[in-house]
Amino acid sequence: MKLMIINGPNLNLLGKREPEVYGSTTFEDYFKQLQEKFSDVELAYYQSNIEGELIGKIQEVGFDYDGIILNAASYTHTSVGIGDAVKAVETPVVEVHISNTHQREEYRHVSYISPGAKGVILGFGLQSYDLAIQSFLG
């Protein structure tokens, strides 16, 4: 099993940014925990603050990997291009969010990713990624 985690803008600041919303753990530290927990899964990780780079990575891995776990962050609510990339690839995509976006600002209630996603997991903190991995294993 080969899974790619793709994180969008500002998620490189996890552990520093709004800890009351996102917690105090960096994603790099959490990713190591995921690799240990799911040692039988080949996990890869990519993060970019740039929309086109995220689209490029989805296209790059979207025909070779068994699954993509995508947290497009704020681009979830603005990027038709990322939504189209999700629909264009063969690899199933699970959309994840650390916070419950429906408890936040109104504009965060709309996702351009969800229509092309296999599923959506949100509101469980970093555990949302763990749940997404499990969705590919079960």
∠106-119-90 over CA atoms, to 5°?
120
DSSP 3-state of 58? helix
What is the C-alpha separation between 43 and 114, in angstroms, rounded?
A: 22
| 97 is annotated as an active-site residue | yes
Residue type, 103: Q
- The two tokens of residue 131 are 């749940």
Q: Which is the catalytic residue, given 30, 45, 75, 97? A: 97
Beta bridge partners of 68: 4, 93
22 is known as an active-site residue: yes
Length of the chain: 138
The active-site residue out of 22, 30, 45, 65 is 22
Among all residues, which ones are annotated catalytic? 22, 97
